[in-house]
């Protein structure tokens, strides 16, 4: 398996993980609770995974396979989405925070789909 295959497979894993986090965040909000410590930990894990995915993309680029510029843009937007939303909603109600983070994860999953389709 070369770097490009690893980058593609890891992208699929990140996509499914983001979708699961989106559903989890919305479920927390529907129950009227805020983000649990487990949920916050899962958000950190997905951010590390997205950064690792970007590192694989940069390594693939370094081996002579440059990406389309829009593919790299989707990757950068994906990396910034969750921290930006977390910063914006940190002073809101716990229920609103869980809902916004869940929606941000679903939005990020959409960015991942677009990134995969532009590869």
For 16-53, write each residue's pLDDT tens digit.
999 999 999 999 999 999 999 999 999 999 999 999 99
Q: What is the dihedral of CA 18, 21, 27, 30, to 10 degrees?
A: -80
Alpha helices in the chain (DSSP H): 3-30, 37-62, 69-89, 94-117
Sequence spans of domains, the chain? 3-117
Task: Indicate yes or no: pTM above 0.85.
Answer: yes
Confidence band for 119, pLDDT divided at 50, 70 and 90: confident
Amino acid 65: pLDDT? 81
């Amino acid at each position: 398996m070369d770097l490009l295959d690893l980058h593609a497979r890891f992208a699929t894993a990140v996509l499914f993980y983001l979708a699961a986090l989106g559903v989890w965040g919305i479920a927390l909000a529907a129950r009227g609770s805020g983000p649990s410590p487990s949920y916050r930990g899962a958000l950190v894990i997905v951010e590390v995974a997205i950064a690792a995915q970007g590192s694989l993309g940069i390594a693939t680029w370094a081996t002579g396979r440059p990406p389309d510029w829009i593919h790299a843009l989707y990757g950068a937007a994906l990396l910034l989405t969750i921290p930006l939303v977390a910063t914006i909603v940190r002073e809101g109600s716990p229920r609103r925070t869980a809902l916004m983070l869940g929606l941000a994860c679903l939005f990020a999953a959409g960015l991942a789909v677009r990134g995969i389709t532009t590869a």
